């Protein structure tokens, strides 16, 4: 087996741009913050380097807030809770909030909206044991949307297009038994809009099978039926047009897109426009790319989520971050995230990122290409809040330009954003080693003092005339480097 230290040293002696310590990942590569592990003299730094004004480097990028978690509390007051938080979120750099499915569900005042019954009941009809939804009244929802808009934030509605719940029982000749497929004013659809029967669900006289549902098969809407299309997105009083033109929603998060064909999303977006993102719960980037191509919509980047979970938690190996991910080929269509309402309530440890690794994962998505999503429970966690604000500020300023992985091994990952114009870009350094790490890399900055804009390091290295600079990462942490004034 090749000796890794000798191999790296041979690269150094051969004139490679990367200049490391030639010490591998053994204990002699773990140093105190005051040590220089390369032995290369550094140009003395000014005693008080002046940080860049990140506000003056606004790159136009923003982040989305997932504005809920599973089983939010307090019940009946969630829309008002969000209305109070929206101004602060806007100031922090959020430009969209994604809210849960806003319509009345079968579980009434306990429903998180994913057991949708009446698409047009926003908390203003008495059915399923309550007038208000779990989140509040229609008036409170309308106030939230208006408050968000006045703070330059778009509101993204969660849209459940396949499975319905809470209808009345009726004989279904296509299944030869009774099914809960009757939705009318007396049976789970008090609005009287988009009444449904068994003919609107699979199977029926038009479609004999369900092409994609994994659950709720008896009440899975058949999107091939013209009247279903009319009520969902085509007619002027369709779900899509009512939500946009009457309620004021700005975009769509499509729930469980594995349950219906991608052309449905494509036609919906062609009918009403707005931002959209699909929940294709799959870690294979090729599956995500194929769905994006067919639907014309961005997708949540589950490929990056799972690579972060594998590298930080499951296998503790940062070289996994060199793997294929959606953002690497489709940065404009990759909505990245580190947690959501499903992953955080999932008992499967491979479906969530541990709290101790959350900030490293956020540092990754907030410095790499893609459109990052912040999870409500993380942002409102006082342990994380200030740190997330700093990361969002860095994302909205320095996280720009082409991406280059400078170094990756089991416990280190170094990535560079090359900047654009007068924006210098950044270098991200993540370490899962138990000691402070330093590594010399090739930057785009010559003879300039750097600082860590994440505030995790007090080290102030200076690059040489060729841009080589020694940066550090704290033990089991990260740092984000750029130039000073």
pLDDT at 24: 41
CATH class, 4-55+402-483 region = mainly beta
Tell me the Cα Rg of the chain: 26
- Provide the residue ranges of all domains of the chain, joining segments of one domain with +: 4-55+402-483, 59-395
pLDDT at 43: 54
Question: HSE on the CB side for 135, CA within 13 Å?
Answer: 28
Tokens representing 161 are 């297009």
pLDDT at 347: 80
Please state, in angstroms and rounded to a whole number, the distance separating the CA atoms of residues 429 and 425: 14
pLDDT at 326: 98
pLDDT at 182: 98
pLDDT at 9: 36
Please state, in angstroms and rounded to a whole number, the distance separating the CA atoms of residues 301 and 327: 7
With beta carbons less than 8 A apart as the criterion, state whether 238 and 264 touch.
no
CATH class, 59-395 region = alpha beta
Q: What is the pTM of this model?
A: 0.90
Tokens representing 423 are 């924006």
Q: Mind listing the pLDDT tens digit of every residue in the chain (485 residues)?
A: 334 333 333 333 333 333 333 334 443 344 333 333 344 445 555 567 999 999 999 999 999 999 999 999 999 999 999 999 999 999 999 999 999 999 999 999 999 999 999 999 999 999 999 999 999 999 999 999 999 999 999 999 999 999 999 999 999 999 999 999 999 999 999 999 999 999 999 999 999 877 766 778 899 999 999 999 999 999 999 999 999 999 999 999 999 999 999 999 999 999 999 999 999 999 999 999 999 999 999 999 999 999 999 999 999 999 999 999 999 999 999 999 999 999 999 888 889 999 999 999 999 999 999 999 999 999 999 999 999 999 999 999 999 999 999 999 999 999 999 999 999 999 999 999 999 999 999 999 999 999 999 999 999 999 999 999 999 999 999 999 999 99
């Amino acid at each position: 087996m090749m000796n890794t230290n000798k191999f790296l040293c041979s690269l150094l002696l051969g004139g490679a741009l990367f200049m490391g310590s030639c010490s591998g990942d053994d204990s002699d590569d773990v140093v105190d913050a005051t040590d220089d592990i390369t032995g290369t003299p550094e140009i003395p730094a000014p005693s008080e380097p002046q940080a860049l004004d990140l506000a003056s480097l606004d790159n136009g990028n923003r982040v989305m807030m997932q504005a809920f978690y599973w089983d939010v509390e307090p019940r009946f007051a969630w829309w008002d809770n969000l209305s109070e938080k929206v101004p602060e979120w806007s100031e922090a750099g959020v430009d969209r909030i994604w809210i849960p499915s806003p319509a009345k569900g079968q579980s009434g005042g306990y429903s998180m909206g994913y057991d949708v019954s009446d698409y047009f009941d926003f908390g203003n009809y008495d059915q399923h044991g309550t007038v208000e939804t779990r989140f509040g009244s229609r008036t409170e929802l309308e106030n939230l949307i208006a408050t968000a808009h006045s703070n330059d934030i778009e509101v993204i509605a969660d849209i459940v297009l396949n499975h319905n719940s809470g209808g009345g029982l009726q004989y279904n000749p296509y299944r030869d038994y009774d099914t809960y497929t009757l939705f009318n004013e007396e049976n789970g659809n008090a609005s009287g809009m988009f009444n449904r029967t068994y003919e609107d669900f699979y199977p029926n006289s038009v479609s004999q099978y369900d092409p994609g549902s994994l659950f709720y098969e008896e009440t899975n809407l058949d999107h091939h039926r013209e009247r279903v299309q009319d009520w969902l997105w085509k007619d002027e009083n369709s779900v899509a047009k009512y939500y946009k033109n009457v309620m004021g929603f700005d975009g769509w998060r499509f729930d469980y897109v594995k349950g219906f064909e991608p052309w449905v999303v494509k036609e919906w977006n062609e009918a009403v426009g707005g931002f959209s993102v699909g929940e294709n719960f799959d870690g294979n980037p090729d599956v995500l790319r194929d769905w994006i191509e067919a639907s014309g919509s961005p997708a949540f980047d589950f490929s990056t989520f799972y690579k972060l979970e594998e590298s930080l938690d499951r296998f503790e190996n940062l070289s996994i971050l060199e793997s294929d991910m959606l953002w690497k080929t489709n940065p404009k269509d990759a909505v990245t995230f580190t947690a959501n309402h499903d992953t955080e309530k999932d008992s499967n440890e491979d479906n969530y990122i541990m709290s101790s690794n959350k900030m490293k994962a956020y540092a990754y998505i907030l410095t790499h290409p893609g459109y990052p999503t912040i999870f409500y429970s993380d942002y409102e966690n006082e342990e994380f809040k200030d740190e997330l604000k700093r990361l969002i500020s860095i994302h909205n300023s320095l996280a720009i330009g082409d991406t280059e992985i400078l170094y990756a091994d089991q416990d280190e990952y170094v990535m560079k954003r090359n900047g654009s114009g007068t924006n210098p870009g950044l270098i991200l350094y993540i370490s899962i080693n138990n000691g402070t790490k330093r590594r010399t890399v090739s930057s785009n900055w010559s003879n300039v003092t750097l600082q860590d804009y994440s505030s995790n390091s007090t080290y102030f290295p200076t690059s040489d005339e060729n841009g080589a600079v020694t940066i550090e990462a704290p033990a089991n942490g990260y740092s984000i480097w750029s130039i000073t004034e």
